[in-house]
A and B are shown apart, each in its own frame.
Chain A
Amino acid sequence: MITIGVLALQGDFEAHRNILEAQGVRVIKVRDAQSLQECDGLIIPGGESTVMSQLCERYGLWEPLQARLAAGMAAFGTCAGMILLAKGISGASRNFEQQTLGALDIDVARNAYGAQVDSFEADIEVPPVEAGESAEPLRAVFIRAPQIVRCGEAIEVLARHGDQPVVVRQGKLMASSFHPEISGDARLHQLWLKGVEKESGSEIG
Chain B
Amino acid sequence: MSETNGQLNGHGGDQKATFRTKVGLAEMLKGGVIMDVVTPEQAIIAEQAGAAAVMALERVPSDIRKEGGVARMANLKLIQQIKEAVTIPVMAKCRIGHFVEAQVLQALEVDFIDESEVLTPADEHFHIDKYAFRVPFVCGCRDLGEALRRIGEGAAMIRTKGEAGSGNIVEAVRHLRAVHGAIRRIQAMPHEELMTEAKNLGAPYDLVVQVAKTGKLPVPNFSAGGVATPADAALMMQLGAEAVFVGSGIFKSTDPQQRAKAIVDATTFYDDPAKLVECSMELGDAMPGLDVRQMAESEMLSTRGW
* Chain A contact residues, CB within 8 Å of chain B: 8-15, 31, 46-48, 50-51, 54-55, 58, 79-80, 91-96, 110-111, 115-123, 137, 141-144, 161-162, 179, 182-183
Contact = CB atoms under 8 A, between A and B. Distances in A.
A162 B261 CA distance: 41
Interface centre among A93, A95, A141, A183 (most CB of B within 10 A): A95
B109 A122 contact: no
A120 B21 contact: yes
Contacts of B269: 31
B31 interface: yes
Interface centre among A31, A96, A116, A142 (most CB of B within 10 A): A116
B30 A47 contact: yes
Interface string B6-41: 100111111111101110110111111000000000
A31 B17 contact: no
B265 interface: yes
Contact of B16 (A14, A51, A58, A117): A117
A123 B12 contact: yes
Nearest to A96: B48
Contacts of A118: 16
Contact of A50 (B87, B134, B265, B268): B87
A95 B47 contact: yes
B21 A143 contact: yes
A8 B13 CA distance: 32
Interface residues on B, range: 35 or more
B89 interface: yes
Given A48-B32, A51-B52, A123-B12, A116 B112 contact: yes
Interface string B37-64: 0000000100110111100000000000
A144 B268 contact: no
Contacts of A143: 21, 24-25, 27-28
7 contacts: A9-B31, A13-B30, A96-B47, A116-B109, A120-B17, A142-B21, A143-B28
Interface string B75-110: 000000000011111000000000000000010011
Q: Is the interface of A mostly helix, strand, loop or mixed?
A: loop
Nearest to A143: B24
Given A51-B264, A122-B13, A95 B27 contact: no
Contacts of A9: 31, 268
B247 interface: no
A162 B17 CA distance: 19
Contacts of A10: 30-32, 50, 52, 268
A120 B15 contact: yes
B39 to A, nearest CB: 14
A119 B25 contact: yes
B21 A11 contact: no
Nearest to A52: B50
A119 B6 CA distance: 11
B136 interface: yes
A58 B224 CA distance: 25
Contacts of A141: 20-21, 24
Nearest to A182: B24
Nearest to A58: B265
Nearest to B108: A115
Contacts of B31: 8-11, 13, 47
A31 B21 CA distance: 27
Given A46-B27, A54-B50, A116-B21, 4 more contacts: A48-B88, A95-B48, A96-B48, A141-B21
